[in-house]
Structure 1
Amino acid sequence: MLDVTYRLQIPHRAGQLARVTTVISKHEGLIGDILTVSLHRDSTEREITVEMRDAAHAWALANDLNALEGVRVIWHHDRAFLRHEGGKLRIDPIRPVKTVQEMRDVYTPGVARVCSAIADNPALVSRYTMIGRTVAVCTNGTRVLGLGDIGPRASMPVMEGKAVFYQQFAGLSAMPILIDTKDEDEFVETVVRIAPTFAGIHLEDISAPMCFEIERRLIERLPQPVMHDDVHGTAVVTVAAAIAACRHVGRRLDESVVGQIGLGAAGYGISSLMHDGGARVIAFDPDPRSHDRARAAGVEIVGMDELLATADVVVATTGRPGLIAPEQVRAGSVVLALTNPVGEIEPLVARAAGAAFAADGRSVNNVLAYPGIFRGALLAGSDRITTKMKLAAAWAIAALAADGELVPDVLDQQVHDAVAEAVRAEAVAEGLGRPEVVPAGL
């Protein structure tokens, strides 16, 4: 699906906008924003955003709008490209330099005194530099969204997007790091060499099983938190959704059977965290190479038919749209079909087939988790992100889900603050807090 914005010149007379919306309706377009750009004596310019199936559908609507008497399509564009023009990030100074004295403070000779202080006491780096509030978002572009191996450069829009939400929701600066290698050793060594620049290492869009080994080795070698978001961030939000769903149907997660379909990066993370949260977890994946890792995390391997007939909560992360047929939905179950952009079963279809609750990847979004998780770890001065910290984040998210919803609004700042505080408190409770390295300014 595409969100397409049309800038239209429309006659400034009663009923003209209705003519336009009628044509959009005939094309089965879903209208979003309508913005009045300018008013003239004889015409009005408006930007109308419409959800369309694909580019051909968007062009067909543009042609029919142009055919309306007095209406002109000035331009139409996919909104995603409009929002990415020039990229989404830049680096700006916190305090601009306006005087010679300020120059002396931030550069020579004053900067030398700060450098010497950090050399004498390395913990001061979090107080006097950006390192303490900066996260590296590292990828090799081998498993980007549902697009697969598209390479590091093509993955940059995703990495920039991650960085946008770090700043907006957690007050952290995040720097995309594109690593052009599929060799595990080269990837790990590259991150280790640049790691002194950052307080945390966020791994993103790395294919399985490579991602598991890279994360394990970096956790062993680095003194700062490391987390692969596709594995753990997605898991945290999915567990939160399962907690909320179980609450709605009067069942506890630790009294439920969770069925995980697909044991790739996200599927493994979800199934293992569900198990750590107290649920009995059964899983299906046709690839036997994924089974040993899942069993080691306490997950039982079963057939797909048995899973769908048994599980109280079904989670699917297979990359296969339409995999689950309506007749396979167990009455009263919770179905989370998380493959993007099209899930294993549409939520409306699942609910019509008897599911108590159903959702897809559009609502169960890892943006709810990772900014607060890293902020909480950095606020505690923790050198790692533990299972208990991830579960604390999941419970914080679930607690803020409104009645009838599986997760709260991803744009609600209260949610990200709650996640950060829950993670910080858990880190301190586990004895991982290091006050001397907590960054200034967070």
Structure 2
Amino acid sequence: MDYAKEALRLHKEWQGKLETVAKMKIETRDDLSLAYTPGVAAPCLEIEKDKSQSYVYTGRGHTIAVISDGSAVLGLGNIGPEAGMPVMEGKCVLFKALGGLDAVPLCLNTQNTDELVNIIAALEPSFGGINLEDIAAPRCFEIEKRLQERMNIPVFHDDQHGTAIVVCSALVNALRLVKKENPTIVINGAGSAGCAIARLILDLELGNVILVDRQGILVEGMNLTSGQEALLSRLNKEHKKGDLSEALKGADVFIGVSAGHIVSKEMIASMNEKAIVLPMANPIPEIEPDDAKAAGAYIVGTGRSDHPNQINNVLAFPGIFKGALDAQATQINDAMKKAAVYAIASMVDEKELRPEHIIVSALDKRVVPVVAKAVKQAAIDSGVIRKWDKE
């Protein structure tokens, strides 16, 4: 199928992938009086007395805002809020289809950090959670941090944490299969996703991390972002210097969140035996899976659906938000992210585990309930549950 051609035809036909569907019919005067005035005053007054009742009398408790400024849309770059809307609509469709959650796409016509923070924070009464999407680094780090400090509902930048969670789930299973401990893990691409992956790998103690960008292996003295600076002391315990080819010599794992076709067969061949290679640049991976295999990679996973081991954020965000909302969590913290990692990894048992199957399918209906249950329990255990009587 020519996906681009067919997508254009269908998007034109649909004129948007979402519609508003009312839960009640307006056919009689009584219907009108119950849905609107005068009946609607009753729930309004209940919520005025106790704000927690907004989760009882409105759709807030199962509704997510999917918000972007259009500055880093897919691999297309800063294409603007209008052009980013099809992606945000698509994300909302996935929330509904996979997680049973309602979601509203909001593309904002500003790329000013202060304006974005103020606008998004003011939306809190209408939503149960905020999914930040396709906001460029390094602004995305500051925006998420400031919103988490100001808002009393979960704020989650999926490009960072969703990616990191699914990558780590795949890595947990891959390392289980190759039976490697304390591996050397090279991440190419040190933007929002790369930094989040590195941080979560280190927090989970899965291995030693070398982070690489266009400047080469990140070391002291480089022009680094705040997110990179925060990680620097935890990186590169082998004190390597140089470019990506130097980083990959003797490495056990390659994770790519950068650009297509920048890794050669020679680079993969220089890695240790039973190398794990996860080139996830979309739509063109850092190295083609067949080339990576030919060069000696034992396990290969990409972001694409037409190859084995698709590493896709859709495995994470529906279940994470469902679990957070079910718990009435005020945030999505590290404990909840770690719980999601191991919940997703658990979906592939020992009998199923093989080089071509280290991660569960994104369309497996079991995933969301399993992830949601684990995330909800982690929220409860870590004490980030809403306490309305103390507000």
TM-score, normalised via structure 1 length: 0.78
Aligned pair in 2 of structure 1 residues 292, 209: CA closer, same or farther (>3 Å)? closer
C-alpha distance in 1 between matches for 2:224 and 2:5: 38
Deviations 1:199-256 (A, max 9, x none): 111100111111111111111111110011101111111111111111221235xx32
C-alpha distance in 2 between matches for 1:83 and 1:123: 41
Letter in 2 for 1:78: K
C-alpha distance in 2 between matches for 1:429 and 1:415: 21
C-alpha distance in 1 between matches for 2:228 and 2:335: 19
Please tell me whether residue 208 in structure 1 is matched to residue 137 in structure 2. Answer: yes
Other-structure match for 1:300 = 235
Structure 2: unaligned runs, 5 residues or longer: 216-221, 305-309
Other-structure match for 2:123 = 194
Letter in 2 for 1:285: D
Letter in 2 for 1:133: H
Please tell me whether residue 281 in structure 1 is matched to residue 228 in structure 2. Answer: no
Structure 1: unaligned runs, 5 residues or longer: 5-50, 52-76, 438-442
C-alpha distance in 2 between matches for 1:384 and 1:419: 16
* Matched-pair contact (CA < 8 Å) for 1:271–1:299: no
Identical columns (%): 40
Count of residues paired in the alignment: 361
Other-structure match for 2:73 = 144
* Matched-pair contact (CA < 8 Å) for 1:259–1:282: yes
* Matched-pair contact (CA < 8 Å) for 1:294–1:300: no
* Matched-pair contact (CA < 8 Å) for 2:141–2:227: no
Please tell me whether residue 351 in structure 1 is matched to residue 278 in structure 2. Answer: no
Other-structure match for 2:371 = 419
Please tell me whether residue 374 in structure 1 is matched to residue 321 in structure 2. Answer: yes
- Helix, strand or coil at the partner of 1:110: coil
- Between 280-289 and 290-299, report the one with greater CA deviation: 290-299
Aligned pair in 2 of structure 1 residues 327, 291: CA closer, same or farther (>3 Å)? farther
Other-structure match for 1:38 = none
Cα RMSD over matched residues?
A: 1.8
* Matched-pair contact (CA < 8 Å) for 2:72–2:136: yes
Other-structure match for 1:161 = 90
- Helix, strand or coil at the partner of 2:18: coil
C-alpha distance in 1 between matches for 2:225 and 2:122: 33
Deviations 1:59-78 (A, max 9, x none): xxxxxxxxxxxxxxxxxx82
* Matched-pair contact (CA < 8 Å) for 2:138–2:226: no
Matches within 5 A, 1:391-410: 391-401=338-348, 402-404=352-354, 405-410=357-362
Deviations 1:159-198 (A, max 9, x none): 0110001011111111111111111111111111222211
How far 1:94 moved relative to its partner? 1.7
* Matched-pair contact (CA < 8 Å) for 2:277–2:301: yes
* Matched-pair contact (CA < 8 Å) for 1:261–1:283: yes
How far 1:435 moved relative to its partner? 7.8
Matches within 5 A, 1:23-422: 78-84=5-11, 85=13, 86-252=15-181, 255-279=182-206, 280-287=208-215, 288-290=222-224, 293-297=227-231, 299-301=234-236, 302=240, 303=242, 304-318=244-258, 320-329=259-268, 330=271, 331-362=273-304, 363-401=310-348, 402-404=352-354, 405-422=357-374
4+ runs of 1 displaced by more than 6 Å? Answer: none
C-alpha distance in 1 between matches for 2:45 and 2:313: 40
C-alpha distance in 2 between matches for 1:333 and 1:388: 29
C-alpha distance in 2 between matches for 1:334 and 1:243: 11
C-alpha distance in 2 between matches for 1:145 and 1:207: 11
* Matched-pair contact (CA < 8 Å) for 1:263–1:290: no
- Helix, strand or coil at the partner of 1:176: strand
